[in-house]
Amino acid sequence: MSSTPLRLAVIVGSVRQGRFGPVVARWFTEQVAAHGGFEVDLIDLADAPLPLALPPVPPAVEPDLPRPAEMADLTGRLGAADAFVVLTPEYNRSFPASLKAAIDWHYTEWQAKPIGFVGYSGGTGGVLAIEQLKQVFGELHAHTVRNAVSFPRYYLLFDGDGNLKEPGEPGRAAATMLDELSWWAAALGAARRERPYPGLG
């Protein structure tokens, strides 16, 4: 078994002005540190150039397609990850366009890797967005774990300093999801090292 820590990319999916995502990201990265099973790479899509117009040949057909030079950092960080957690709001019963662009510009970076989710919204807590994302990532040969973290009416759950008023249950949910991600990341990483993943195309 490798002694190298598993690399977890935590993706902040919203780029909207005034977004709540960074508050959720701070809380979640604290949970990852307490868990101790991962090295965290926090990826904020607000800092990543993401053209909404995709190339004429999709990444699924041409995985090595040239991407805009300014996307190289994002692509490299996604490719280096052993697992992902996507932090997503829910806009109009779905997830934001910025997140879809980041997903669609890539393909092999997601393959045979586990993905967990933290959702937040004023209503369902991001559950509808998460369910749609599970379908999207399934098409990209990623493995989405069963358990997620959800914050319905998030503006009532955090105080003015960005701390959870009642951290117990969300903390336990995060620990459960991270345990799942750790197991799957180790198992799938070993499988990828043993032989290339066959599910291209």
pLDDT in tens, the chain (201 residues): 456 789 999 999 999 999 999 999 999 999 999 999 999 999 999 999 888 787 777 777 777 777 888 899 999 999 999 999 999 999 999 999 999 999 999 999 999 999 999 999 999 999 999 999 999 999 999 999 999 999 999 999 999 999 999 999 999 999 999 999 999 999 999 999 999 888 665
Alpha carbon separation from 183 to 129, 154, 186 (Å, rounded): 24, 29, 5
In a domain, 99, yes or no: yes
In a domain, 1, yes or no: no
In a domain, 174, yes or no: yes
Total tally of structural domains belonging to the chain: 1
Q: What is the pLDDT of residue 200?
A: 61
Structural domain boundaries enclosing 45: 6-194
Burial bucket for residue 78 (CB in 10 Å: 0-12, 13-18, 19+): buried
CATH number at residue 18: 3.40.50.360
In a domain, 65, yes or no: yes
- What is the bridge-based pairing of β-strands 114-121 and 143-144? parallel
Q: What is the pLDDT of residues 81-121, one digit of tens each?
A: 999 999 999 999 999 999 999 999 999 999 999 999 999 99
10 Å Cβ neighbour count for 32? 20
In a domain, 147, yes or no: yes
Coil, strand or helix at 185: helix
